Structure 1
Amino acid sequence: MAAGAIGGEGEDLWVFGYGSLMWRPGFPHRERRLARIAGYHRSLCVYSHVHRGTPERPGLVLGLDRGGSCRGVAFRVAAQDAAETIAYLRAREQVTAVYLERRVDARLADGRAVRAVTYVVDRAHLQYAGRLDDAETLRIVLQGVGQSGRNPDYVVSTYAHLVEIGVSDPHLARLAAALARGADASAADAGRLSA
């Protein structure tokens, strides 16, 4: 998708974040608003081979998977920064092409409706993990370390930000609690998570 197809010439760009983009966007923005999109939900459904794991020892990161809805954060980027922001996002999000760049309808918390760029998981990609049980999710997260750091740190930071903005995610809550108890308890936690 060409940058011109993302935002009209001279128009501000909206970007919807649902994972680490919420708390570490990495691009200049003029506005940050809570937002909701329909048709996709947040899921730890992507094997990370770069940022939070390796091909030999993958981690797990969030993707937008089909169905449901997702609350996250929308950022308004000034028109003059739009092309540079899209280039940055493509380098960050599409390093292994597991995400598809899409424009989605987002409803901001103040009631405005905007079109926003976001990245949804490609279910046909080999890094698509699908829905894993909690015990397997915990096992993979505990092993993941990549260019952007430890996988547990990513999960805990994302969960903390969701709590901060008032978003409930029971799956991430259970996982973050297990991680907070420490990696030494991973076997016991895996049993409790599956119960």
Structure 2
Amino acid sequence: MVFWIFGYGSLIWNPGFEYDEKMIGYIKDYRRVFDLACIDHQGTPEHPARTCTVEQKEGAVCWGAVFCVRGGPEKEKKAMEYLERRECEYDSKTLVDFYKEGDSSLQPAVTGVIIFTSTPDKVSNKYYLGPAPLEDMARQIATAFGPNGNNRDYLFRLEKTMFDIGHEDDYVIELANEVRKVLGIPGKGILMEKLVGVGAPHIPHEAHIPSLQLHPLPEAIAMDS
């Protein structure tokens, strides 16, 4: 038995599990959004971060990386248990077709690929934040932090990763630039940082940035395997 998992956020640069094959490519009819709460990595229940999820949109393309896990039931079980703990704020698994970068056949390279998704409903999905004005989202991302670091660093790393694989995401760039504006960081985008040879300056947690009033969210509960 073999399974494939598609990463569109931090899994691209930090899968965290043993895999046998990785390919860059995309899935169709999904787009990346920052509409999901994260309360155990870059946020807390009192001050949730905004993390990446995908939503269905006809004609959209979402670039990322697919990972293959093969080698027997124990290896596959271990990888999936790790993923379910890590992605515990996502309430669904969806099967999609994956298209490999550079493949001119227009046929999926892999079918039945797993992606972790979230139900876009605040009643049935307690971690779904929904869309918000860009300025409000940027202020939330600029100020949220948790056990694994700052929410803004997650966003900036995603922006850089998409640049590095050659498939920048306009939505991610727009949101990252708005966060830079909140933080008072000059310049726009990872491309500008590469051209001038500098990265984003360190902004301490205590930096005075007006924050949003957010309602606490419940503790994360890992999905059953």
TM-score (structure 2 length as normaliser)? 0.71
Residue from 77, 82, 91 that aligns with 1:83: 77
Q: Which runs of 5+ in 1 are unaligned?
A: 1-10, 188-195
Residue from 30, 39, 54 that aligns with 2:29: 39
- 2:140 corresponds to: 140
Q: Distance in 2 between matches of 1:173 and 1:44?
A: 12
Q: Distance in 2 between matches of 1:121 and 1:69?
A: 18
Contact 2:142–2:182 (CA<8 Å) still a contact in 1?
Answer: no
Tell me how far 1:59 sits from its aligned partner: 0.9
Query: After the TM superposition, which residues 80-159 of structure 1 pair with which residues of structure 2 at under 5 Å, given as runs?
Result: 80=72, 81-94=75-88, 96=89, 98-109=90-101, 111=103, 112-124=109-121, 125-159=125-159
Q: Which runs of 5+ in 2 are unaligned?
A: 104-108, 186-207, 210-225
Tell me how far 1:84 sits from its aligned partner: 1.0
79-88 vs 109-118, which deviates more? 109-118
Tell me how far 1:115 sits from its aligned partner: 2.2
Amino acid corresponding to residue 113 of structure 1 in structure 2: V
The CA RMSD measured in Å over matched residues stands at 2.1
Amino acid corresponding to residue 151 of structure 1 in structure 2: N
Query: CA deviation digits over 1:121-149, x for unaligned, max 9?
Result: 12121321222221011111012112221
- 2:189 corresponds to: none
Pair 35,51 (structure 1): closer, same or farther in 2 beyond 3 Å: same
Tell me how far 1:40 sits from its aligned partner: 1.8
The answer to whether structure 1 residue 72 and structure 2 residue 64 are counterparts is yes
Contact 1:58–1:143 (CA<8 Å) still a contact in 2?
Answer: no
Q: Distance in 1 between matches of 2:51 and 2:34?
A: 5
Among the aligned pairs, what percent are the same residue?
A: 25
Q: Which has the higher helix share?
A: 1
85-94 vs 169-178, which deviates more? 169-178
Q: Equivalent residue of 1:91, what SS?
A: helix
Q: Distance in 2 between matches of 1:179 and 1:137?
A: 8
Amino acid corresponding to residue 163 of structure 1 in structure 2: F
Tell me how far 1:184 sits from its aligned partner: 4.6
Q: Distance in 2 between matches of 1:108 and 1:121?
A: 24
Q: Distance in 2 between matches of 1:152 and 1:183?
A: 10
Contact 2:135–2:178 (CA<8 Å) still a contact in 1?
Answer: no
Tell me how far 1:160 sits from its aligned partner: 0.4
Q: Equivalent residue of 1:117, what SS?
A: strand
Q: Equivalent residue of 1:21, what SS?
A: coil
